[in-house]
């Protein structure tokens, strides 16, 4: 197994920089279920941010990319079950930020009673509680 930085994943998905995209494609297509590429939680969050901010991808497009990554047997996503949960919350709420959903679901998986925030949108969209 080898770790994949966000920029490698982005180049593979977007195919927007010929030299780097070709190298990313060759590498990712050489992976297998027995020897997958590893994607960290940080890289998943960065991927979502880059697609939204730099490529102006829609929430549906981003959701589809994350789901495809999760379903690809040649890729192993850190804490994949939690990423699936966060993706579900993200898709369900029109105002949810993926990072907030992942933070809340990760805290829940760590047996936290709840997650507090100053972000009012994260309260309504991602299930956090306002800090009192």
Q: What does pLDDT average to in each consecutive run of 10 residues of the chain (132 residues)?
A: 98 97 98 97 98 97 98 98 97 93 97 96 93 88
Written as one string, the DSSP assignment of 75-98 is: EEETTHHHHHHHHHHHHH-TT--H
**CB of 82 within 8 A of CB of 102?**
yes
pTM for the full predicted model: 0.94
CA distance 12 to 114: 36
Closest CA to 12 of 75, 91, 102, 83: 75
pLDDT attached to residue 13: 97
């Amino acid at each position: 197994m080898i770790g994949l930085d966000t920029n490698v994943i982005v180049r593979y998905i977007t195919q927007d920089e010929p030299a780097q995209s070709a190298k990313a494609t060759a590498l990712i297509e050489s992976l297998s279920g027995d020897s997958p590429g590893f994607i960290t939680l940080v890289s998943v969050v960065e991927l979502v941010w880059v697609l939204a901010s730099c490529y102006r991808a829609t929430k549906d497009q981003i959701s589809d990319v994350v789901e495809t990554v999760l379903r690809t047997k040649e890729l192993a996503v850190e804490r994949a079950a939690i990423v699936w949960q966060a993706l579900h919350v993200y898709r369900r709420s029109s105002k949810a930020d993926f990072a907030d959903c992942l933070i809340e679901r990760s805290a829940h998986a760590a047996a936290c009673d709840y997650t507090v925030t100053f972000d009012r949108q994260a309260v309504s969209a991602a299930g956090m509680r306002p800090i009192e």
